[in-house]
Amino acid sequence: LPDGIIKIGEIAFRELSSLESVNIPKSVRSIGENAFSDCYMLKSVIVPEGVKEIGDNAFSMLDGRGELEYVELPSTLNIFSEDCRWWRPYLFHSKNSPKLVVAVPHAPHVEEFCEHNKIKFVYKENK
């Protein structure tokens, strides 16, 4: 994706079965709903620092066929600065992606967010 874009729109790459990798530029601030859903060949995604919002189902593999194994989330996501106890986004359906591990920053509420959403996670170094 080209530098300078600030938003990846809703369903931008949905069901793009040949998409194996994506380089999200540092200029992006939001990723829309279903932006990369059902991109079955996509194995990993690194969301850069600066992204504040990711829409529901952005990385979902709704029928469980996806190859997604790794997603790295930035500390700038709004969800990590809020009380996540009752808020349940569906960035990805981890139950349908048993190999999925999400790298998350050391940030308020991040562990609660992952546990509440049944996401396997590891902490990443804040950059």
Low-confidence ranges of the chain (pLDDT < 70): 63-64, 81-90, 93-97, 108, 126-127
pLDDT at 109: 72
The pTM score is 0.84
pLDDT at 127: 46
Q: In what order do the strands lie in the sheet with 7-8?
A: 7-8, 30-31, 53-54
pLDDT at 105: 85
SS3 63: coil
The pair of structure tokens assigned to 42 is 């996509």
Q: DSSP E strands: which ranges in the chain? A: 7-8, 30-31, 44-46, 53-54, 70-72, 101-104, 121-123
Report H helices in 2-118. 110-116
pLDDT at 35: 95
pLDDT at 60: 85
